[in-house]
Structure formats: C-alpha cells, structure tokens
Amino acid sequence: MEKEAVSHEAERAEGEQGGAPPLGCTGACCHGGAKMAVLAYSLGKREINQHFTIKNAKLISLVVVILLVVFHTASRYYGGGDSCEWLLSKGRYLGENVWQPYGCMMHKYKSIEAKTCLAKKQVAFIGDSRIRQLFYSFIKIIDPAQREDGNKHEDISFDDERSSVNVKFLWYPEANNSMKERLISWTYEGSAKPDVVILGAATWSIKLHSGSSESLQKYKFNLTTIAVHLDKLAEHGEVYWVLQDPVNEEVLSESRKMITNSQLEMYNEAAVDVLNSSKRYGRSRVKLLAASRQAALETISQSVDGLHLPESTRNVGAMVLMNSLCNKIIRPIDGSCCQTLPPPNHLQKLSACIFVGSALVLIVLAILGNNRHRRPVPPDVESLEEKKPTTAAVLQGPKAPLQALCRMGIIMAYFYICDRADVFMKEQKFYTHSSFFIPLIYILVLGVFYNENTKETKLLNREQTDEWKGWMQLVILIYHISGASAFVPVYMHVRVLVAAYLFQTGYGHFSFFWLKGDFGLYRVCQVLFRLNFLVLVLCMVMDRPYQAYYFVPLVTFWFVTIYATLAMWPQILQKKANSSGLWHLGVLAKLLGLLLVICVFAYSQGFFERVFSVWPISMLFELDGSIHEWWFRWKLDRFAVIHGMLFAFIYLVLQKRQVLSEGKGEALFSAKISNLLLFLSVVSFITYSIWASSCKTKTECNEMHPFISVVQILAFILIRNIPGYARSVYSSFFAWFGKISLELFICQYHIWLAADTRGILVLIPGNPSLNIMVSTFIFVCVAHEISLITNELAQVVIPKDSMALLKRLGATGLFGVLVLLLARSSQPTHGA
C-alpha cells in the first residue's frame, strides 16, 4: 500500500510538473515546486521510517544502557566515585541559593529529622569566628528559633532536652597546643568523647603573624601533631576538618589586610597534605569539608566585612554536614549522598527469583526445542484501559509468556540500577521559566508538524483522544523534570490536565458500558491487569507502596466505581433506553446517587479515613503509614470522573437523536451556536489563566479546583471539536505518545527522574542537554516495550474461559495474600 501511495504521488507530481508553464509563470512554477517539496518530504519520511524503526531504537537503547552501566561502574571503582566525597568537596549553585553537590542529591533537613538523627549525641565545633558561624547555621537546622546571641571569643553551648542533643562551640582560633590539649583530653580512656567533631582554623595564624612563612611552617607542624589525635577520635566518631573559605580582599579592614586568598590557599594545601598523609587502610579517617569553600567562591562578594560569609552560604555548609551525618540514618528518598545500599527485602528477592526462574525455564525449553510461535504484535498496540483486547497479540505455547517475563526482568534490572543501586548519579530539580516553556514550545511545534487525517470525524474520536492523552502526558513530563510545581500558575494548569485524564476515564468507560453492555469478568480483569501490572511489579522490585504511584490507584478506584454504578440493578443500556425515555432518568438517578456518595466522603474526612484504614484495604492506600496522600489526591479531583460520565451520557443521547452534525468538514452545531460556544470557551480559558496567576498559594487554589476544572476541560473539547476541519485532523506525534501514556507516567518515577520523581537521573554527567536526550530516548523505548509486554501477558493471564479465569483469580488471590504478608513483615527502607 505504501509503495502504491508513493507511486500515485509521484505520477501526480510528475503530471503537474509536466504541465507546468514556462519559467515566466513564476506562480505556477512555485506551485509545482511546492508539490515536489511535499513529495520529497513524504519519500524522505518513509525512507527514515523504513530504517529507524522502534525495534531498532530499542536495540540501540539496550547497547547504550550496557555501555553506560560499564562506564559508571568503572568510574565508581577506579575514579573515586564515593558520593560522600562528592558531597563534601564538589558542587555548584543552581540559581542563586540552591546548592547542588556533584553527582548526588542533598536533602533539606527539617528540625524533627535533625533531632531524630542526632538524638543522644554530642557535637563539637572547634575553631574561630567562621566556625562559630557554621555552628549557628547547624543548630538553626535543629531549632530554627535559635538566635546568634552568644559572646564573641567564648565557648557556646546548645542543648535540646527532648532529643538529648548537645552541640558546643569551643573557641580555639589557632591550630596550636591549646587545641591539641583539648583533643587529647577526649582521647583518654573513660573520658566523654563527642560523637562528631568539626574544626578548622587559619585566619588568626595569618593575622597574628602577618602571613609569614615561619607561621605557615608552624601551622603545618602543629597540624601534624594534631592529626594523630584527630585520627584516634575518628575511630569512635566522625571528624571533619573545614578548609578555609576565601575572603573579599577589597572589603577587609586594615587589621585583616594580610589575610589574602593566596595565603588561605597555602594553608589549605598544608592541611590537605597533612591530613592525607595520615591515611590508614588507604584513606584518611578525617573528612575534609571543602564544599562550603567552593560555594563561598561565588558568594564572598556579598560579605559585609570581607571575612564572614553570607548566611545563605553558611547554610550550605551546615546542610552538607547534616547530610553527611544523617543520610545513612534517616535514609531520605531525596538524599542520595552518603547513603549505603539497603539489603534486598523479601519481596525484592521473590521478584528476582520469578524473573530468574523464567529465564531458566526459557533456556530449558529452548534446549528441548520447543519452537511454538506467536502471532506478531501490532506496531501500535495500546496500553491504556480503553483498548480492545482483540487488537493485542494472542500468545501460543509457554515460550512466548516466558520471553515476555524475561524482557520484563531485564527492564526491572534497569529500573533497580537507576533508582536503587549506587551506579548512576542523581541531581536535584531546579525550576526556571525557560526550563519549562522552551521544551513545551518544542513539543508543540513537533505535534503540529506531524498531523494526519482522522479515520472518523466524530466528537472525541479515537485518534483525537490518543492525541489528547499524548500532549497532556508530554506536558506533565516536562512539568515534573523542570520542577515547575514551584510555580503556582503552571501547577494549577497541570492540575487541570490530571483532572482531564480522570474525565476521560469517566467518559471512556461510561461510553463502553452504555453502548456495549459488557459487564463480564473478562473485561474487568483485562482493564485491571493493564492498569496495574507495571505498578504491582514496581512495588515489589523498587520496594514502594502501591499509593506511591498515586495515579494508578486513582484510575483503578474510579474504574471499579464506574463499573459498580452501571452494573448494579437496574442495568440501563442504550438499547433499553431507546425503548423508553424514562430509562434516561434512571441513569441520571444513578449519577446523582454516585454524586451524593462522593459528597459524603468529601465532607467527612474521619469517615473516609476509617473506611480506607481497614486492613488489607489500607495496604493499597497508605503511604508512610497514613492515608493522607490518598485523601488529598482523591478529594482534589473527586468530581472529574462523574463529569466525564455525565458528558458521555449527554453526548451519546444527542448523537442518537441526530442533534449533532459530525460529518467531515461540518461544524458540530449551527453557525450561531458554534460561534457563541467557541467565544465562551476562549473567554473561560483566559479567565482561568488569570485566576490561576492570581493565586497566592496552592492550598487556596486547590479548594476551588474540583469545582472549576470541568469548565476548562469542556472549553478544550468544544474548541477542538466544534469546527469540522479541527475534528478531521490529529497529531500522529501526540497520538503515538498517547497510546503509551500510562507507561510513560509510571516509568518516569525511576528511569527518567530519580528518587521517586524528586530528582533527575544523570546518565551523562557534565552535559545536561545530552543527558536529557539520552535518558529520554531510553525512557521512551522502555515505556513502549513495557506496553507490549503488558498486552502480551494480559492475553495469557486473563483467559476468556470463565472457569479458567476463576482458577487464575484464585491463584492470584493466594499469591496476593503471600505478598501482603511479606510486605507487612518487611521493615521500611525509606525515610521521610
């Protein structure tokens, strides 16, 4: 067919060219040239598609992943790939105040977390006024109400009675005998030793001795004798030597003019040489804190006196220390620096056994020569709940499902390596307007560029709904990776997109049940499997609760709700309603009943929590031991699904009564009504954007969101469908992504973003643009492959025979009970 189409286009273009007028007729020549350009584009596009198929793309992505794993593993072992060293020594500013350590994520500790980590511990800061600054920034993390009201040149003590945390600042401005004697006193057997020691000094030595070379030699000698005792203290706790921060020489007072950056650099080099020469077992026990110095290089110009750092820079040093001390204890998801790998739990071991076992059985079958075949999978297999099972591949024999499980096992290994193993780097998000809007413009241009004619011109036809899901998913992906949730207007517009997904859920399922009347168990199981397969596997492999992937529990809950509402007696279908208009009132009565139930849950949080806190239901909806996240997500879009159901009902009734004009090129309504609705839709769009831009807080906006999001959704539907020409075309680019939108949404958690969406996965360090291109390419290939695997396994796991299906459900139930018991017995591995 493609060759015939190309041939016809060539003949048509050739005929037009042959009948072209002489060169003098420039208009006709340009017209013929345009036709040739279209032909060249069409031929070129087909040539590219012939060689760069999705299969080849996946092979390329597999090779790239293998090379990246080898590279990062080798660099970890041979290139000094310790994330603790990265945290303490390297980094850069994202914007003005956000510090990004090299290769890992730094958690922003709150007071309760700091108290939990440092409970019953003693921390000692030893040094001059700049160490005192660091001391104050450190205790402000523990108690934000603390003030810098201690006397200068004196010791200061901070105690938190509830957590029994004791933090002291000891005034020792020089690395001399006095400092050494204090350290020696802690090394005696039976003496109270601090659990953490942070110290540093140099500026006073430079100041008192006018930066003489003899002073530098004496400093180096004193530090050599002190290093021995620091090493002994490091055997029982943690010891940090703070390298000297730069100064702003132009602002320094006359009494400090001798403290130059060149002098400080020599003292830092001396400290590094001495402490590194005291290495035992291949590495020094004393850790060098250089990150605050690197941060100060960019901010010292803001110093008031040229010597003491701005508060924001001091806070960087304090937060780096807190991450170094506490990440391995608190284990925050967004604090990948200095975290050790937890041992696999029971569920992770079980999932590994399943995948490895499948591979072994497949190898045995291959050896025995079991060569049954399966039908080829269509190239555009869909992955969401609306697709028809008959379009998916039908597997024959045991070899094909085992192959699917093996492919899934390889993919899950990549997931684990990306977001649970200490192989790839991770970085924090940082929002700028350009990081969100520039990629947004790119994808919109691509979406408009790839447009085709639709197969049908009905309202919300299949190609159009795929397109809708596709562009919304791409916008959500850009929103997540850019950290745009920090910008309230963008946040509110994306909230409408999530509501639109749920609106489509209500619209699609209501339409199916209303028209088909298929309430059978097979259909229900097919939908639930396709929605939940990937998430359930990830819950086991990645050790995350079901609710962590909030969108899937949400659409699953609403599918079950829609099914229960429409399946309960009396079942009202279109065929039955055609016989009597009273049945339409019955449907509206059902929707009204559902609305009342939603309102009861929405306005009684206590009742809601009691219902969903019952075990084992709580296992599905709890996150960190609470159902608050489920309550928030459910309540935020509680009316979106019923709006979709009501819209589907009204549309299908109007369509049946031939009120709408859905022919090719025809406007949906009469000219006056169409123009009026289009005008109102545009006005609603502008009004909503103005309102969203005026919102001060997310909480304020979220209160109004459930009631007004439907206006934006309806406005979009009308703008997209009222003009006949708009219904006749769609973006194949967006539609392709729409077919795998569910997989894209879930996969982004671990193989595009990192730390369960809190950070960004870094495959190519040092080049953010190339990193995004490579990680996105792999991410999309993986999502597409998972959609194929899900469709293949759905045909095996969910048989059409009712008895066989009931047996499978029984076996699945037993396996589910085993998983719940293992999950209940497993200790949590993630912190706050």
Residues labelled catalytic: 129, 305, 308
Looking from the CA of 113 toward its CB, the CA atoms found within 13 Å total: 20
Task: For residues 52 and 2, give the distance between their C-alpha atoms in angstroms, rounded to a whole number.
Answer: 16
Kindly give, in sequence order, each residue whose CB lies less than 8 Å from that of residue 347, ignoring residues fewer than 6 positions away: 539, 540, 543, 819, 822, 823, 826
Q: In what order do the strands lie in the sheet with 759-762?
A: 425-428, 759-762, 753-754
Phi/psi class of residue 282: alpha, beta or left (left: φ > 0; alpha: ψ in -120 to 50)? left
CA dihedral sign, ordered 800, 801, 806, 808: negative
DSSP state of 190: T
Is 275 in contact with 227 (CB distance < 8 Å)?
A: yes
CA dihedral sign, ordered 113, 117, 122, 126: negative
Distance of CA 184 to the CA centre of its chain: 49
How is the chain split among helix, strand and coil, in percent rounded to 5? 65, 5, 30
Element (H or E) spanning 199, and its range? strand 196-200
Task: For residues 448 and 440, give the distance between their C-alpha atoms in angstroms, rounded to a whole number.
Answer: 12
- Of 710, 695, 785, 687, residue with least CA distance to 744: 785
Retrieve residue 374's tokens. 């399966």
Task: For residues 824 and 832, give the distance between their C-alpha atoms in angstroms, rounded to a whole number.
Answer: 19
Instruction: Find the angle CA(370)-CA(374)-CA(380) to the nearest 5 degrees.
Output: 150
Task: For residues 279 and 273, give the distance between their C-alpha atoms in angstroms, rounded to a whole number.
Answer: 10
CA dihedral sign, ordered 188, 191, 196, 202: negative
Q: Tally Cβ neighbours within 10 Å of residue 93.
A: 17
What would the DSSP string read from start to end of 3-71? HHHHHHHHHHHHHHHHT---TT-HHHHHHHHHHHHHHHHHHHHHHHHHHS-HHHHHHHHHHHHHHHHHH
Task: For residues 631 and 342, give the distance between their C-alpha atoms in angstroms, rounded to a whole number.
Answer: 30
Retrieve residue 134's tokens. 């660091």
In the chain the first and final C-alpha atoms are separated, in Å, by 58
Identity at 737, one-letter amino acid code = F
Retrieve residue 424's tokens. 């790839």
DSSP state of 202: -
Instruction: Find the angle CA(347)-CA(339)-CA(422) to the nearest 5 degrees.
Output: 70
Element (H or E) spanning 477, and its range? helix 462-482
Kindly give, in sequence order, each residue whose CB lies less than 8 Å from that of residue 260, ignoring residues fewer than 6 positions away: 211, 247, 249
- Of 170, 200, 173, residue with least CA distance to 185: 170
Instruction: State phi, psi for 452 to the nearest 5 degrees.
Output: -140, 170
Task: For residues 760 and 417, give the distance between their C-alpha atoms in angstroms, rounded to a whole number.
Answer: 14
Task: For residues 533 and 510, give the distance between their C-alpha atoms in angstroms, rounded to a whole number.
Answer: 23
Retrieve residue 797's tokens. 């796991």
Task: For residues 687 and 175, give the distance between their C-alpha atoms in angstroms, rounded to a whole number.
Answer: 65
